[in-house]
Structure 1
């Protein structure tokens, strides 16, 4: 594949050494565009020194990942109007060497496919249970998929056909765009090929909570745009979050005025869920202590996701602007 048919778009904000590693992982001869979201470190200088084209986003509107990717893509296409593919990658990731040849070959051989992604790995799963959970989260089923993650190779023609990402989508922008691509007749695939190494760097419960809250917020916005068909998996996540994080707590509190025993019976659903999820986690290879902690964090995530859902709809109903939630 001639190098000019492919460009890499990197997005980031204050990623420091992670950005340097990301830029260094780009193959020689491929155009790299870095879209910077108002970094206060030396990210822009670093990117220019690495030979990347730089697009600096002004913080006059929310600095979303979607906006960064769109700006980077627009720059890449302006540099080469005949561009065929764009590899989107987050600035805290590095591209693994086997990925791009396999991904480009797949899109070239399958003209009906708009987006292809591979296996994203967590670079340091041993540093925290949160990182280890991310590593397993990235291991999605191989084959045709509803959506990709933030790292993916995208066909420019398909991207342009649906208007790219939604600039104001505060999170979950990839499933939102992929939903529109599927509605337009395109398909999305996940290959069994190593793609990127990611550095979540989640070491505290507060970061985990904000990341889950961010998911609830972004999924709600996605579903508000296009309904459950836009993101079937996201719809299921929101449904479970509202049951465990809103409906059941409200029912427990309300039942206290009627019968405390009824409230206790309903509250027992949480330890029962903890036991069920612990057993499931053990079957999936988590050790005994890890299995319990992962199950407990799963319950915490439901409250955090519900927080994001409620936050989205409160802002929506009061006309306030949605702003991105960060966890780093």
Structure 2
């Protein structure tokens, strides 16, 4: 299916044997219902891991036929911890991981499984994730473009992907201590074990970011900065140089430019001209990204730098970081 085609959510009478689905969520409501309903016709079992919902999600999931795993909330919650709890219940050879705010294309699991059969080293397979309401806000529109990653061998996947269970278990699953960036961390460890990660040209999921406010976008960008910093701290010295460039860009543009402008401005009024580096960077990125994306890419370095600094400040204080939630 070409990547430009609309997502098909109509039921199909072809469950893929040997595939279980793990859905994670909290207070997703109607979005969870759409998610589970889209998976039931495609997989052997749907395992829903709930993280303290108060909106009836647990009862809804059970009524739809999913096996429910309620997380014990006395321990720190992370999406990685929830996914691992679901993986413990998986019996099939493959698992379809899905976030509870996503609906899965009716042909996705069969398409991904067929690709896995043709590429034995393909341990993680993802496709095109789209935003359900890209025109609801500039933030949703930017996220929809963010999901449109290149087709072919990839370094990482997002929260939605078909994975070979034995390979994931062989590297210890997701790192439950990570509050963000757990999928790229897993993919890096899988690749070190000889596995391949693929993004194929097929429709996969409809995602509902539901970001309509600047503050939500800021928190999401800050979370990304935290992930860059922690990824660099864990794997930055390894040959992969995991997220070193991303963390460096966040610090240079989000911290370095304003800091230099502040010092220079204190020495001479014209010193604040250093801030012109931001619009010049926007102009440089516009031909490749488009004006809107270029503006938010540069602006996003401020919350990303905040996330980087927050990670290192917490590490110095030996304090575990809490979740950075944007909705």
TM-score by length of 2: 0.91
Alpha-carbon distance between aligned partners in 2 of 1:69 and 1:253, rounded to the nearest angstrom: 44
Alpha-carbon distance between aligned partners in 2 of 1:239 and 1:187, rounded to the nearest angstrom: 27
Of residues 58, 62, 66 in structure 2, which corresponds to 1:48? 62
Alpha-carbon distance between aligned partners in 2 of 1:88 and 1:230, rounded to the nearest angstrom: 28
Alpha-carbon distance between aligned partners in 2 of 1:122 and 1:67, rounded to the nearest angstrom: 25
Of residues 2, 19, 38 in structure 1, which corresponds to 2:52? 38
Tell me by how many angstroms 1:295 deviates. Answer: 2.9
The equivalent of 1:5 in structure 2 is 18
Deviation readout 1:175-233 (Å, 9 max, x if unpaired): 00101111111110100000001001110100000000011112222222222658657
Alpha-carbon distance between aligned partners in 2 of 1:45 and 1:10, rounded to the nearest angstrom: 15
Unaligned runs of 5+ in 2: 1-13
Alpha-carbon distance between aligned partners in 1 of 2:130 and 2:107, rounded to the nearest angstrom: 14
For the 8 Å contact 2:232–2:247, the answer to whether it is kept is no
Segment drifting more, 107-116 vs 63-72: 107-116
For the 8 Å contact 1:146–1:231, the answer to whether it is kept is no
SS in structure 2 of the partner of residue 30 of structure 1: strand
Structure with more helix by fraction: 1
SS in structure 2 of the partner of residue 188 of structure 1: strand
Deviation readout 1:41-95 (Å, 9 max, x if unpaired): 100000000110111112222211101110011112xxx2xx2100000000001
For the 8 Å contact 2:123–2:164, the answer to whether it is kept is yes
Alpha-carbon distance between aligned partners in 2 of 1:46 and 1:9, rounded to the nearest angstrom: 16
Alpha-carbon distance between aligned partners in 2 of 1:131 and 1:152, rounded to the nearest angstrom: 21
Tell me by how many angstroms 1:274 deviates. Answer: 2.6
SS in structure 2 of the partner of residue 25 of structure 1: helix
Mapping of 1:299-318 within 5 angstroms? 299-318=298-317
TM-score by length of 1: 0.91
Tell me by how many angstroms 1:96 deviates. Answer: 0.2
Mapping of 1:1-328 within 5 angstroms? 3-28=16-41, 30-76=44-90, 80=91, 83-227=92-236, 229=238, 232=241, 234-261=243-270, 263-282=271-290, 291=291, 293-328=292-327
Supply the RMSD in Å over aligned alpha carbons. Answer: 1.7
Tell me by how many angstroms 1:30 deviates. Answer: 2.0
Query: Quick one: structure 1 residues 43 and 228, their matched pair in 2 at CA, closer, same or farther if it must change by over 3 Å?
Result: farther
